[in-house]
Copies of this chain bind each other. A is one copy, B any other.
Amino acid sequence: MRSFNRGALDLRPVTLTPGVSRYAEGSVQVEFGHTKVLVTCSTEERVPPHLVGKGTGWVTAEYGMLPRATHSRNQRESAKGKQTGRTMEIQRLIGRSLRAAVDLASLGPRTFTLDCDVLQADGGTRTASITGAYVALVLAIRSLQKAGTLTKPPKLTPLAAVSVGVVKGEVRVDLDYDEDSNADVDLNLVATADGRMVELQGTAEHQLFDRKTLDAMVDGGLAAIQQLVAAQAKVLG
């Protein structure tokens, strides 16, 4: 039996709580089952060096995990003096995904930084982060529009992310930590509700995967993403 008593292609209960930060231009707490991520979107009136003078905006992301977000405590990255390869890989993925969600040129010369901090980790922290980050980004854009800083509404492409895997020979969607640790294949998918893909990262953990399995995983992932985009839309009104 899967956690939350759900079927192989079902998501865990998903919660998106907007406005959790008193200070950030946009914010949301996103929960996929027991996984909880606090996402803030901060804006700055400047862009990275390679974009100076081009008039276009930038979206970037950082990812972190509280030391005891997990079953056992991990060393704090600031104390170690560097971010792990895993952290860098995830924040690069979040950044690329969110840059696909908005027409950067329409943002004007400013930077939107998405901080995704995992308060509790039970699998799927990167997909929850991306799903929440879309909401935080839109809220930050709205707050700039309200303040008159952004006058033209930027063109948005709603998107969300989900993990899929093969566990005990079965394709399953939105793996929790136990399933993730035992998956034979692991795939993270970022896409729109109409099935256009942004990122697709599949990994053979203990078993190579054939074309048929890939197809089944993509099918399951795209269906789940439709529900996640619907949940985002509900919160964003």
- Interface residue total, chain A, C-beta cutoff 8 A: 63
Q: What 10 A-B pairs come out closest when comparing CB atoms?
A: A77-B78, A85-B88, A196-B208, A40-B68, A42-B73, A200-B202, A78-B78, A24-B68, A198-B204, A89-B89
A135 CB to nearest B CB, Å: 15
Inter-chain contacts of A89 with B (CB < 8 A): 85, 88-89, 92
Question: What is the CA–CA distance of A192 and B40 in the complex, to the nearest angstrom?
Answer: 37
The contact sample of 20 A-B pairs, CB cut-off 8 A, is A21-B120, A23-B120, A42-B73, A62-B67, A62-B76, A66-B117, A68-B115, A78-B83, A82-B82, A85-B85, A85-B88, A85-B89, A88-B88, A100-B204, A119-B119, A187-B200, A195-B210, A196-B204, A199-B204, A200-B200
Q: Which residues of A contact B (CB under 8 A)?
A: 21-24, 27, 34, 38, 40, 42, 44, 62, 64, 66-73, 76-83, 85-89, 91-92, 96, 100, 113, 115, 117, 119-120, 122, 157, 187, 191-192, 195-204, 208-211, 214, 218
Inter-chain contacts of A38 with B (CB < 8 A): 66, 119
Question: What is the CA–CA distance of A91 and B79 in the complex, to the nearest angstrom?
Answer: 11
* B62-A23 in contact (CB<8A): no
Inter-chain contacts of A85 with B (CB < 8 A): 85, 88-89, 91-92
Inter-chain contacts of A100 with B (CB < 8 A): 204, 208
Which residue of chain B has the shortest Cβ distance to A194 in the bound complex?
B210
Question: What is the CA–CA distance of A42 and B211 in the complex, to the nearest angstrom?
Answer: 34
Question: What is the CA–CA distance of A209 and B72 in the complex, to the nearest angstrom?
Answer: 37
Partner of A87, one of B23, B70, B78, B192: B78
A74 CB to nearest B CB, Å: 10
